[in-house]
Amino acid sequence: MADIDITTHEGFKNFVTDTLGEDILTKEGYILHSHFDTIKEGNLYIIGLNPSKDKKGNVVKMQENLEQITSDKEYVGCEHNWSTEKKPYACGLHPIQRNIKQIAKIFSKSELYSNLKLEEGGEDKSYKNICLTNLIFESSDNENNVTYSERYNYWKIHKQILKVIKPKIIIAFGNREDKSPYHHLKKEVKPKKEDISILKDCGNKRFQCKSFTGDIEIGENKFLTTTVIGLPHLSRYHLYLHDEKDYPKKDILKEVVKWMESKIPKVD
């Protein structure tokens, strides 16, 4: 069988279409929350569970997203309006978006991920260089209504992206021991050793971070060694400061940053 080439937008579209089929692509959802150009070697890979349905009724189908990921107009993951029914947010200021920006900023300061560093107009825009996606591409109202029937076909696409990126680190948003991206990655990757760290009490819940190093199968007899970091779902926790008054959680931020930095492999 010929090698699959997803390094061009046309090749990527063809592969996704052949893998999922046109019926699935008519469903609401996103293949990527980042620009197509983020599928490049040496990048950071962030994976959530699945996209939320747009509460304002601005439905985006997977097929549309597949066409739009080469547009320079906006970076879906961190620049769209992600307001909820309970709370409105300005574009790019939903807690998850702000957390992604903070993670990008942290990792761009490391030697291994210095390629992420990007400034525009004096602002840190390193988040634009992160490959951002979800385990499940189809949108849902909430995590209880996620459709898992196509997850194995979705994973075929993830495997091809990972084959190109060859990430040293994958960050999973959500680390419960059931239907979370971290849990699924533990099935797909052969963990060698898992590290579970209780970093700090956060309100009435414990801020539990997890990680493991293992090998992802990316082809016949081809494996990629990577470290998977599992964070609690970052719609509920903040890795950024609103302001100094806001922050009894300031120590949590320091601990999480220190813990994540400890997982960044040293450059030989």
Q: Whole-prediction pTM value?
A: 0.89
* Mean local confidence (pLDDT), 80-99: 85
Spatial strand order in the sheet of 169-173: 131-134, 45-48, 169-173, 222-231, 205-219, 189-202
Tokens of 261: 């930095």
Top mean pLDDT of 19-33, 208-222, 225-239 is at 19-33
For helices 95-108 and 250-262, the axis angle rounded to 10 degrees is 50
Contacts of 246 (CB under 8 A, 6+ apart): none
**Of 42, 11, 265, 15, nearest to 165 (Cα)?**
42
Using H for helix, E for strand and C for coil, what is the string for the chain?
A: CCCCCCCCHHHHHHHHHHHHCHHHHCCEECCCCCCHHHCCCCCCEEEECCCECCCCCCCCEHHHHHHHCCCCCCCHHHHCCCCCCCCCCCCCCCHHHHHHHHHHHHHHCCCCCHHHCCEECCEECHHHHCEEEECCCECECCHHHCCCCCHHHHHHHHHHHHHHHCCCEEEEECCCCCCCHHHHHHHHEEEEEEEEEEEEEECCEEEEEEEEEEEEEEECCEEEEEEEEEECCCCCCCCCCCCCCCCCCHHHHHHHHHHHHHCCCCCC
The predicted pLDDT at position 74 comes to 60
Q: How confident is the model at residue 84 (pLDDT cuts 50, 70, 90)?
A: confident
Each domain of the chain, given as residue ranges in start order, spans 9-262
* Mean local confidence (pLDDT), 116-136: 93
> 229: which strand partners?
171, 211
Percent of the chain with pLDDT over 70: 85
Residue 94 main-chain phi, psi, to 5 deg: -65, 145
Contacts of 118 (CB under 8 A, 6+ apart): 108, 124, 125, 126, 128, 129
Q: How confident is the model at residue 204 (pLDDT cuts 50, 70, 90)?
A: very low
CA dist 125 and 52 (Å) reads 24
For residue 205, pLDDT beyond 60: no
